[in-house]
Amino acid sequence: MPQESHSEQIALWKPTLLGNAWYASCPEVLQDALLRHGHLRDAAAGSAVFEHGATDLTLYCVLSGQVQAYHPDPSDVISPLGMLQPSHWFGEMSFIDAHPRSHTAVAHEQALLLCVARADLLPFLDQHPGCWRDIACLAVSKLRSVYQLIPANVPLPARTRLLKRLWLVAHSHGFKDDAPRTRLRLSQDRLASTLGVTRQTTNKALRELELQGLVKRHYGEVELLNLPEWQQAMLEE
C-alpha cells in the first residue's frame, strides 16, 4: 500500500485547523495556501521551537501536544506568556514584520507543528494582497488579549488577576465555537510565575475561588466550574 505524500499528510489535519476561529474565518484560498506551503515538524518535549532574538520568520500552528511561550528577562527569570494548545497559531509577529522573535517558544511535551515559512508564502501573498488583512487579524486578536491583562491605574489584587488570567486562558485558544476550555493544564507554580506572585499567594487565591464554587483544583490542572457565574464574578472584581 503506497504511503501518503507529505502534502496528503498535512491535508489530513485540516479538520483540526478548521476548529480554530481564525483559520476558519480565512478565505479558502488562504486556508489552502497555508497547507500547500506548510511542512510538518516534530518537536521533542523540552526542545525550542524558536528562541528570543532568533530570525526565524515562520508561522506555526500546534497540531498536537503543547507549546509553552515565555519571555526571559535579563535576570534569567522566566515570564510565561501562555500555553499553546492544538489548533493554536503563533509566530505571526515576526512573520509580518520580519523582525527577530520577541519571546521563546518551547515544546512543553512532544508536539507536532505545521510550519509555514515566510519566504514560501510571500509569492502567494503578493498575488493575493488582501490576505495580508487576514494575517493581521491573527496578530490583532492576540493584541486584544494582551490589553485585557493590562491593569488599570492601580495594581489588581492577586485574586482578581488570577480570575482574569484563568478566564483569558480558557478563551484564548481561538476555538471556532468560542466555547471556553474548562480543564486548564496549569500548575500552581506556573500560575504564580505568570501572575508575579508567590505560590502561597496563588494557592490562597485558588482556595478562595474554590470556596466560591468557581474552580476545582486537580494535580497540575485547574477546572473551571459554574461558567455562567464567571461573568458576574468578573464584573464584581
Q: In this structure, what CATH number is given to the domain that contains residue 22? A: 2.60.120.10
Give exposure, 142-175, as e/b (b: 16+ Cβ within 10 Å): beeeeeeeeeeeeeeebbbbbbbbbbebbebbbb
In this structure, the answer to whether residues 207 and 140 fall within a common structural domain is: no
Q: Where are the alpha helices (DSSP H) in the chain?
A: 6-11, 14-17, 21-25, 28-36, 92-97, 118-127, 131-149, 158-171, 188-195, 199-211, 227-236
Q: Is 70 exposed, middle or buried (0-12, 13-18, 19+ CB in 10 A)?
A: buried
- How many domains does the structure of the chain reveal? 2
pLDDT at position 1 over 50: no
Residue 166 falls within a domain, yes or no? yes
In this structure, the answer to whether residues 61 and 28 fall within a common structural domain is: yes
Residue 41, CA atoms < 13 Å, CB-side half-sphere: 20
In this structure, the answer to whether residues 18 and 125 fall within a common structural domain is: yes
CA distance 31 to 116: 12
Give residue 65's domain range: 6-149
Lowest mean per-residue pLDDT among 38-47, 53-62, 227-236: 227-236
Phi, psi of 141 (to 5 degrees): -65, -35
In this structure, the answer to whether residues 134 and 164 fall within a common structural domain is: no
Give the other-Cβ count within 10 Å of 111's Cβ.
24
In this structure, the answer to whether residues 115 and 36 fall within a common structural domain is: yes
In this structure, the answer to whether residues 95 and 23 fall within a common structural domain is: yes
Percentage of the chain beyond pLDDT 90 is 38
In this structure, the answer to whether residues 113 and 46 fall within a common structural domain is: yes
pLDDT at 151: 52
- Per-residue pLDDT tens for 178-187? 566 778 877 7
Return the axis-axis angle of helices 158-171 and 188-195, rounded to nearest 10°. 110
Of 101, 122, 149, the residue that ends a domain is 149
- Per-residue pLDDT tens for 147-186? 655 554 446 778 888 887 787 777 655 444 456 677 887 7
Closest CA to 229 of 218, 217, 237: 237
pLDDT at position 51 over 90: yes
CA distance 191 to 203: 9
Locate 229 and state its grid cell. 457565574
At residue 2 the predicted structure's pLDDT band, cuts being 50, 70 and 90, is: very low
Whole-number mean pLDDT of the chain? 82
pLDDT at position 53 over 60: yes
- 6 or 79, greater pLDDT: 6
Residue 1 falls within a domain, yes or no? no
Of 149, 174, 200, the residue that ends a domain is 149
Cα separation values, 27 from 11, 119, 133, 143, 161, Å:
16, 20, 11, 22, 37
**End-to-end alpha carbon distance in the chain:** 60
